[in-house]
Amino acid sequence: MEALSFQYSHEEGKSVWCHNLVITHVVSDGQSYAFDFRPYYQSEYCEARRIPFKSKNDLAVEMIEIFPVNDDERVYFLMDSWYTSEKVVNACNCKGFQVIVTIKTNRLICAEQYIRKSDLRSVTVEGQGVYRVYTYERPVSEIENVRLLLSWKDDYTTSSKPQVCLLCTDPSLDLVTIQRYYHVRRNIETGYRYFKELLGFDQYQLLSFMGIQRFWAIQFLTQNFLEFQRQD
């Protein structure tokens, strides 16, 4: 089977022999569609076949740049800490997209040492519970001002690390809306679990990688057809 490599699986907690995809997913007006994908190849595979190597961030930027959007649409780009980089944030900024992303706690944040319990705000997110949130603004990369949210779901102590660290480039959003928008990602991740378990997205036995990519395309069409039918 072509293009396999060892990739770290967060679900398995170890490296597994597999294919790896970077996927974009669109949620709008209560509808949720698998939109686009790019296979990720490790550098050794690319070198052996004399094709340009693209990192996962490069693939994400590629899909951001070609994403069709109307002038009157407001787009929020959600991603986890794996893709949180200057390159991806700047690509969104160039397209006029707002960004809401998680940041790894080891990248943060000098403000933590100055936080007092009285500085935290209690924020209730429907379906997620109550968070204690500290927020402040600072410049990041080419963006003059972003909001950073440090969130604790458990009781806050001076020694406890925030469980969720969010960066938002839209200063007009309130804290509840930022948290609520970002939690749309959880619905997407649940959808991809069903994608695998019910549609067999990873249950293929094809040798040709072209055939495998065609299989994935059919799976995308199937999922999106079912989502469209669900709306009727």
Dump pLDDT digits (tens) for 78-99.
988 888 888 898 899 899 999 9
**What backbone phi and psi angles, to 5 degrees, belong to 60?**
-65, -45
Q: Hey, which CATH number is domain 75-193, 3.40.50.11540, 3.40.50.740, 3.90.350.10, 1.10.1130.10?
A: 3.90.350.10
pLDDT of residue 170: 92
**Confidence class of residue 29 from pLDDT cuts 50, 70 and 90?**
confident
Q: Which of these, 108, 184, 181, lies nearest to 150 by C-alpha position?
A: 108
Q: Is the pTM of this model over 0.75?
A: yes
Please say if the pLDDT value at position 214 is more than 90.
yes
The mean per-residue pLDDT over the stretch 113-117 comes to: 73
Please say if the pLDDT value at position 112 is more than 90.
no
Domain residue extents for the chain:
75-193
Structure tokens at 193: 């679990």
The mean per-residue pLDDT over the stretch 172-183 comes to: 89
How far does CA 217 lie from the centroid of its chain?
21
Please say if the pLDDT value at position 54 is more than 80.
yes
Task: To the nearest 10°, report the CA torsion of 213, 97, 174, 165.
Answer: 60
Dump pLDDT digits (tens) for 117-160.
788 888 887 777 888 888 888 776 566 678 888 888 877 777 77
Top mean pLDDT of 14-23, 118-127, 158-167 is at 14-23
Please say if the pLDDT value at position 111 is more than 80.
no
Q: Are 34 and 14 in contact (CB under 8 A)?
A: no
Strands (E), 14-172: 14-18, 21-28, 31-39, 76-79, 98-102, 121-125, 129-140, 143-152, 164-168
